[in-house]
Structure 1
Amino acid sequence: MTGAYSRHWRLMLAVNAAVMLGVFLHKLTLPPYIPYIHLLVDYHFGFIKRALIGAIVGLFTAKVPVWLVFALAGSVWLMTFALFVQLFRRTFGIERGQLPLLIFTAGSPFVFKNFLFTLGHFDIYGCLGAIILLLVPAGSLAYVLFAALISAALVLIHHIHLLMYVPTIAAIVVLRHYLTRAITRRDLAVGAGALAGLGVLFLAAQFAGTMPIPEADFVHYLQTRMVDPSRTALLQFAYVWYQPLAKEVQDTWARLPSNLLGVPVYALLLWLHAPLWRQLRDTINALSEQPHRQIVIAALIVISLAYAVMFAMVFDYSRWISSWVVCMVLMLHAVKTLPATRPIAPIDADDRKTTILGWIVTVIPRVGIIRPF
């Protein structure tokens, strides 16, 4: 990395840091409607969906201040970012030649910048769980059970994780554990049992996890957990603990015409990451065994189909497309753990077009929650 554009990539790191700080400061000015109520809801009235985070918070404090949203979510963001840097270091190294790939992953508006804008939402927990599974040893059956435990926790945080990150976690387990050893019947039984158990947990959360008391009583209970009960505007989304799946789908399809207007924007943003997609393609093509390539491609298809189902059910499109990109980045790291026939050349840091794309990706602050930007 000694060409005319080498200094650009180092400068992009500094600009990314400044942009992330700006996104965080902007987020602090916004009312945390959904994130705050998730810290209040627990299992006081029995098993319900979306209650694990609030139940854990309740173990430490009876009254929840609003600032805890940013303190807790910020800590999770910092932990996830630090572990991603460690994962990147182990997978690719932090040499200057890998700076472009770091910019198109960690510096992408789809990834950590958007996690900052969605601070307090549950998406990042799936990313954190997957990164942990990419870092820990995968040689024993305990790895499969650990992945199942992480996945179960994610479903209890929010059941949509079964579509959002559990397929990626399952793919990581297959690539890091099942494809690296002789598979026994016990391995298959444990894996199948874990998937079946997660399916049952999802169905329980989705169809049996609604609040069993009137909404007014539920809101009153949430107020007893607030430091400032007068801020009732922060409880305006209490209805989601009562809303059936059919109503969510109906709302999504009602918003579909306006949400589809963002598709060209998403397509453009994905095109800006062309060097990343070429890196993923080349990494897959370099795998030494044809069955490994086929399994990886099948896994990418399954992950993408899960997101297609999400798009049909819940309308937070900007979050979903961002998390899909995160899953592709995680899969790149997972694929790199498989045997390859040749080393993969890093993204060309001296290519003028790639440098321009890197700068555009760097200055875009985030993608959004429902609509682009």
Structure 2
Amino acid sequence: MTPRAWQDPWRVMLAVNAAVIVGVFLHKITLPPYVPYIHLLVDYHFGFLKRALIGALVGLFTAKVPVWLVFALAGAAWLATLALFIALFRRTFGFSRQHLPLFVFMAGSPFFLKNFMHTLGHFDIYGCLLSICLLLIPARSILFVLLAALFSILLVLIHHIHVLMYVPTVAVIVVLRYYFVVGATPKNVASGLAALLALGVLFLAAQFYGTMPIPEAEFARYLQSRMADPSRTDLLNFSYIWYQPLSKEILDTWQRMPSNLLGVPVFALLIWLHAPLWRYLTEMVRALANDWHRRLVIAALAGVSLGYLVMFLIVFDYSRWISNWAVCMFLILHAIKTLPAAKPVSPIAGEDRKTTILGWIITLVPRVGIVRPF
């Protein structure tokens, strides 16, 4: 980096963010990949099963699953997400100096790439990756709706909680990029409704009929047979999640609620640190030329947020949920940018002292976490 570049704090922040990400990765590879590894072992050997698609695909290529494969596959997904997000940002906003603060508040956010690095191997990033793909590809025909439906089906098969985590964002992207542009016709509306119905049926099947039909001990023995190192039985401690009904998940969440709610002020603070970005999003919505577009965008943002609120009441991985909610807001912002605006929206003021301080703070925050903050 040239001496002139170092005089621009936002370019320095990008360099510091890269260093932080490397640090998070070096820390991550020292931790046992309990949940991510077992997801690579579970497949459809005993019939239709929830959370089994990734393991089934891995099984097509190898009978024995090494632990390092968790980091190889997850690392490839992370790099693909980074590359596609850079391409998306370049196309939507460009990398002029005036848009560098916005890029730092997104790409450098502890909610986004840094937290995906910390949760390496978890399934969240696949929803983000496929959503970015939908923001990049043309949306000129009904094929776009069908592709979005296919992506959503894959996400539900990877993990059924995607029906609340990223499928609503996929739906918002389809509405904003396709239906707002092409318009609603009987054919494309019917296709969208059919896709929603199919997804609903698939979710119910995964949630209520995708449980393991054999005793847990036998299931654990099968998973052990797929391990490259069968002696690592400690990595099978989470096999119970394929037997846990929804009622038990809700009960566990509410039992942990008092202690987990202690993290809410921290989440609120982290969200507030992104205030310049939220103001920019608000101004983009206000600047929309079509009142009907504006109302539907506000409803869409509220709907996606409501889905995350439901997740907060069901599953206790709060740090992951709040992080992915923020990522969904980032992605929807890109979709909003494609809509006709009545007036231009001023970029985030990179020269503002308070904005620069907030940029430095989010740059130095390495991640949010999985359950509790940090």
Which residue type is aligned with residue 233 of structure 2? T
The residue that corresponds to 2:351 in the other structure is: 350
Could you tell me the TM-score, scaled by structure 1's length? 0.98
* C-alpha distance in 1 between matches for 2:311 and 2:326: 14
Instruction: Map 1:283-298 to 2 at 5 A.
Output: 283-298=284-299
Which residue type is aligned with residue 238 of structure 1? S
- Partner secondary structure for residue 60 of structure 1: coil
- Kindly state the Cα deviation for residue 343 of structure 1 after the two structures are TM-superposed: 1.7
Provide structure 2 residue ranges, at least 5 long, that are not aligned to the other structure. none
Question: What are the Cα deviations for residues 199-222 of structure 1, in whole angstroms up to 9, with x where unaligned?
Answer: 000000000000011000000000
* C-alpha distance in 2 between matches for 1:306 and 1:13: 32
* C-alpha distance in 2 between matches for 1:238 and 1:283: 45
Instruction: Map 1:71-220 to 2 at 5 A.
Output: 71-220=72-221
Q: Indicate the larger mover: 109-118 or 334-343.
A: 334-343
Paired residues of 2:65 and 2:228 also in contact (CA < 8 A): yes
Which residue type is aligned with residue 343 of structure 1? P
Question: What are the Cα deviations for residues 321-359 of structure 1, in whole angstroms up to 9, with x where unaligned?
Answer: 000000000010010011011221111010000000000
Paired residues of 2:5 and 2:11 also in contact (CA < 8 A): no
Paired residues of 1:5 and 1:350 also in contact (CA < 8 A): no
Q: Identity across aligned pairs (percent)? A: 70
Report the count of equivalent residues.
Answer: 371
The residue that corresponds to 1:9 in the other structure is: 10
- Kindly state the Cα deviation for residue 159 of structure 1 after the two structures are TM-superposed: 0.1
Matched, 1:41 2:38: no
- Kindly state the Cα deviation for residue 14 of structure 1 after the two structures are TM-superposed: 0.4
Paired residues of 1:23 and 1:116 also in contact (CA < 8 A): yes
Matched, 1:262 2:228: no
* C-alpha distance in 2 between matches for 1:90 and 1:363: 27
Structure 1 moving runs of 4+ over 3 Å: 3-6
* C-alpha distance in 2 between matches for 1:55 and 1:122: 14
Paired residues of 2:5 and 2:12 also in contact (CA < 8 A): no
Paired residues of 2:112 and 2:323 also in contact (CA < 8 A): yes
- Kindly state the Cα deviation for residue 6 of structure 1 after the two structures are TM-superposed: 6.2
Which residue type is aligned with residue 331 of structure 2? L
Which residue type is aligned with residue 256 of structure 1? M
- Partner secondary structure for residue 261 of structure 1: helix
- Kindly state the Cα deviation for residue 5 of structure 1 after the two structures are TM-superposed: 10
CA gap 1:208/1:4 in 2 versus in 1, 3 angstroms:
closer
The residue that corresponds to 1:70 in the other structure is: 71
Paired residues of 2:256 and 2:316 also in contact (CA < 8 A): yes
Paired residues of 2:6 and 2:12 also in contact (CA < 8 A): no
* C-alpha distance in 2 between matches for 1:341 and 1:30: 50
Which residue type is aligned with residue 78 of structure 2? W
- Partner secondary structure for residue 250 of structure 1: helix
* C-alpha distance in 2 between matches for 1:339 and 1:56: 41
Could you tell me the TM-score, scaled by structure 2's length? 0.98
* C-alpha distance in 2 between matches for 1:139 and 1:189: 17
Which residue type is aligned with residue 66 of structure 1? V
* C-alpha distance in 2 between matches for 1:285 and 1:6: 34
Which residue type is aligned with residue 10 of structure 2? W
Question: What are the Cα deviations for residues 260-312 of structure 1, in whole angstroms up to 9, with x where unaligned?
Answer: 00000000000000001001001111110000000000000110110010000
Paired residues of 2:308 and 2:321 also in contact (CA < 8 A): yes
* C-alpha distance in 2 between matches for 1:155 and 1:74: 21
CA gap 1:268/1:321 in 2 versus in 1, 3 angstroms:
same
Paired residues of 1:288 and 1:341 also in contact (CA < 8 A): yes
Q: Give the root-mean-square deviation of aligned CA atoms.
A: 1.2
- Kindly state the Cα deviation for residue 4 of structure 1 after the two structures are TM-superposed: 12
The residue that corresponds to 2:236 in the other structure is: 235
* C-alpha distance in 1 between matches for 2:5 and 2:214: 66
Provide structure 1 residue ranges, at least 5 long, that are not aligned to the other structure. none
Which residue type is aligned with residue 62 of structure 2? T
